[in-house]
Amino acid sequence: MNRKLTLWAAGQALLAAILLPIVFHTQPGAAQPSAPPATPRVAAASPEPQRHPRIVAALRHLEAARQQLEAAQGPYHGHRARAIGHVNQAIAECKRALESAR
């Protein structure tokens, strides 16, 4: 019982360590790094700005989290597989959100 509890706690800690930065990075009002001002020549050559940069960033973070979960080794009693499924659902929702915003 103690071993199961330890493994469960380790799995939850791993999941939290992977997903918490994603959650807090995408919160409204979160500080965004400031970009240096673009010169007119660079601005004219750059493509159209992203309409939803936070959703795009969340999508990148979710894909990275999925890779980390898939690379994790050890017996997680189905929790890792369920976490991957939830991340896949979140990726699909982000893609749908981007499609619906066009």
**pTM of the predicted protein model:** 0.53
pLDDT in tens, the chain (102 residues): 777 767 766 667 666 667 666 655 555 555 555 555 555 555 555 555 668 899 999 999 999 999 999 999 988 999 999 999 999 999 999 999 999 987
Separation CA 90–CA 87 (nearest Å)? 5
Identify whether the C-beta of residue 64 lies closer than 8 Å to the C-beta of residue 91.
no
Q: What is the dihedral of CA 62, 67, 95, 37, to 10 degrees?
A: 60
CA–CA dist 62, 16 (Å, integer): 13
Q: How many CB atoms lie within 10 A of CB 96?
A: 10
